[in-house]
Amino acid sequence: MQLIGPITQIVTLRGLSLRGSVSDDQLEIIYNGGVCVSDKNIVDVGPYSNLRKKYPNARITEIHSPSVMLPAFVDAHTHICWAGTRAADFAMRNAGKSYLEIAESGGGIWSTVTQTRLADQSELENGIINRSKKLIEQGITTVEIKSGYGLDIQTELKMLQAIKNTAERSDIRFISTCLAAHIKPHDFTGDQTAYLRWLLRELLPVVKAETLSRRVDIFTERSAFDIENSWMYLDAARSMGFDITIHADQFSPGGSILACKLKAVSADHLEASGEAEIKALAQSDTVAIALPGASLGLGEPFAPVRKLLDKGAIVAIASDWNPGSAPMGNLIAQASILASYEKITSAEIYASLTYRAAHALRINGIGVIDFGCSADFQLYETDDHREILYHQGQMLPSQVYSKGISLI
């Protein structure tokens, strides 16, 4: 058994609610604490001096400097499997060009699709590994990754296989999601319905049989798939046994209400959610995932996180890291900026980046520092946890553990 400590503050996140608002004084902080790890799991947590006495034979990993321990973060929505760049889109958008003008000049999601189709699988795997290194540096040890830049059977499978291979080689957790319903590809002859039926017939059974993913996502939006088709597709995917999730209310509302009706695990984006959508989410078990990185990348409003929390929704925050709308990939910077704009407490930000995000991915035993949980945690060289968000993404952990393995 390994005993890590003494740690100035352990912010355990134990005992906090799954939904709604949380004040900072609800945070359990163990001062001069320690954590015992055995076989990838946390087997004890408490005051360091007590643990020293209780486990005299434990192997000690001594922490010398002032230190704050938090559970490792969970990024519950990314698109970090892609090839190419969309820097031209970004510059055009900032020069005032419209979505349509960017698409007509060869940009937009379709441009990443053409670049990703040309890439071989090992190039995609390298892209995932390089980007996930940046996520690990931020204390993230669980990362959701979507397909959705293939939009044909072969490339969607190539993306999901790249994610699976990377997961098998990595010490962190990757959760893949099939987003073949991202947009209707330009080279598909047939309407939206025909494309989605084709995916249901030709792609999802293979994804299932080859255990490439247990989750299905769709972009429900005017420019992508309408409510009716999204409903048909997700209902069928759910009957096949997939967890379902929606890119919902990014530019126009509606998708989140569908997500609640279908008991989707999450509704993600929500920049355009109004009162009806907030109410529906608050009354559901569907996790509302805000993606401030997409607001920052596109110059769009943030999702109404304060209102969602006040009404009692389960809220998570994720990076949406992708080449188009959210190229930054710095989840902690995004979450702390969102906190300033919407007045979100530190406790709410921590919850939204840990156990609430894990709930969206239907993973138990991470996101909290407690007996029996996976040993996924991070240490910062400071004596006050509030320094972390205060530095708006510029303070990085000095140590990151995933399943008991020290990665940094």
Q: Which residues bind ligand NIG (CB under 6 A)?
A: 79, 109, 112, 219, 247, 250, 294, 320, 322-326
Whole-number minimum distance, CB 272 to ligand NIG, in Å? Answer: 12
81 binds, among Fe ion, ligand NIG, none (CB under 5 to 8 A by kind): none
Residue length, the chain?
Answer: 408
- Of the candidates 254, 144, 244, the one whose C-alpha atom is nearest the C-alpha of residue 196 is 244
Residues 6+ apart with CB under 8 A from 291: 77, 268, 269, 303, 317, 318, 319, 320, 326
Which CB atom, from 113 or from 400, has the smaller least distance to ligand NIG? Answer: 113
- Is residue 357 a contact partner of residue 74, using CB atoms and an 8 Å limit? yes
What pairs with residue 380 in β-bridges? 68
Which CB atom, from 10 or from 290, has the smaller least distance to ligand NIG? Answer: 290
Residue 356: both structure tokens together: 């609430």
Distance (Å, whole) CA 130 – CA 326:
17
Whole-number minimum distance, CB 389 to Fe ion, in Å? Answer: 23
Can you tell me whether residue 46 is helix, strand or coil?
strand
Which CB atom, from 268 or from 376, has the smaller least distance to Fe ion? Answer: 268
Whole-number minimum distance, CB 35 to ligand NIG, in Å? Answer: 35
CB burial class (10 A; 0-12, 13-18, 19+) of residue 222?
Answer: exposed
Whole-number minimum distance, CB 51 to Fe ion, in Å? Answer: 42
User: Alpha carbon 151 to chain centroid distance?
Assistant: 22
Binding site for Fe ion (CB under 5 A): 320
Other CB atoms closer than 10 Å to residue 43's CB: what's the count?
18
Which CB atom, from 320 or from 348, has the smaller least distance to Fe ion? Answer: 320
Whole-number minimum distance, CB 125 to Fe ion, in Å? Answer: 20
Which CB atom, from 219 or from 355, has the smaller least distance to ligand NIG? Answer: 219
Whole-number minimum distance, CB 325 to ligand NIG, in Å? Answer: 4
315 binds, among Fe ion, ligand NIG, none (CB under 5 to 8 A by kind): none
- Is residue 110 a contact partner of residue 183, using CB atoms and an 8 Å limit? yes
Which CB atom, from 321 or from 380, has the smaller least distance to ligand NIG? Answer: 321
112 binds, among Fe ion, ligand NIG, none (CB under 5 to 8 A by kind): ligand NIG
330 binds, among ligand NIG, Fe ion, none (CB under 5 to 8 A by kind): none
Residues 6+ apart with CB under 8 A from 168: none
319 binds, among Fe ion, ligand NIG, none (CB under 5 to 8 A by kind): none
| 105 to 90, 111, 185, 250: CA distances (angstroms) | 13, 10, 16, 23
Which CB atom, from 101 or from 384, has the smaller least distance to ligand NIG? Answer: 101
Which CB atom, from 221 or from 370, has the smaller least distance to Fe ion? Answer: 221
Q: Are strands 287-290 and 315-317 parallel, antiparallel or unpaired?
A: parallel
Other CB atoms closer than 10 Å to residue 301's CB: what's the count?
10
Whole-number minimum distance, CB 250 to ligand NIG, in Å? Answer: 5
351 binds, among Fe ion, ligand NIG, none (CB under 5 to 8 A by kind): none
Whole-number minimum distance, CB 371 to Fe ion, in Å? Answer: 35
323 binds, among Fe ion, ligand NIG, none (CB under 5 to 8 A by kind): ligand NIG
What pairs with residue 175 in β-bridges? 144
Residue 195: both structure tokens together: 């494309």
